[in-house]
Amino acid sequence: MQLVLLWVGKTRNPHLRSLCDDYLERTRRLVRCEVVEIRDPGKGRAFKGPDLRKAEAREIAHRIPDGSRVVVLAAGGREFTSVELARWFEAERLHGTRELAFVIGGPEGLGDAVRARAFMALSLGKMTWTHEMIRVLLLEQIYRAFAILGRIPYHK
């Protein structure tokens, strides 16, 4: 199985970028995983609201690998405990899923075209997080899930 995490813009906060790098490195020891940072179409342009979401959706759509099962991060999405997430990954693997693409939209949210392509919306809880913080949280939970599956004591 391969995981692809797509998000809009670079992680500018050096502390959060360092955490992302750390969890990405750990995760890659357990499962193939890559991060795709998508150019921010709103940078230097007057895009706002629906226009920005549409522009981001076009950029995201071009970068989602063909054949991937798409999971979008969204408020109101499905919530898991860490153990449930691990079991979900295992079930996806057993069902023959070759690639999962996790998509984090920009601060304005995800465009309808990306949401329509998703087979699941995932929520990391009811609290509001910055988009840079969500990157760290998602990577940590993915690492934790595969640590659980690999019986690595990290998750305790």
Query: Residue 107: which CATH number?
Result: 3.40.1280.10
Retrieve residue 41's tokens. Answer: 């179409």
Checking if the pLDDT of 46 tops 70, the result is no
28 sits in which H/E element:
helix 14-28
- The angle subtended at Cα 73 by Cα 55 and Cα 49, nearest 5°, is 35
What tokens appear for 98 in the block?
A: 């070759």
Digit-coded pLDDT (tens) for 57-108: 888 999 999 999 999 999 999 999 999 999 999 999 999 999 999 999 887 8
Mean pLDDT of 137-143: 98
Domain encompassing residue 14: 2-155
**Taking the model in full, what pTM does it have?**
0.93
Between CA 50 and CA 24 the distance in angstroms is: 32
In 3D space, the residue among 18, 27, 51 whose CA is nearest the CA of residue 142 turns out to be: 27
120-122 sheet: strands from edge to edge: 32-38, 2-8, 99-104, 69-78, 120-122
**Closest by CA position to 61, among listed 44, 36, 78, 43:** 36
Residue 118 has pLDDT above 70, yes or no: yes
Q: What is the DSSP letter of 30?
A: T
**Does residue 8 have a pLDDT over 80?**
yes
| Residue indicated by tokens 């991937």 | 68
Whether the CA torsion 134, 23, 116, 126 is positive or negative: it is negative
Domain count, the chain: 1
The tokens for 70 are 């798409």
Please give the Cα distance from 52 to 63 (Å, whole number). 17
Question: How much of the chain exceeds pLDDT 70, in percent?
Answer: 96
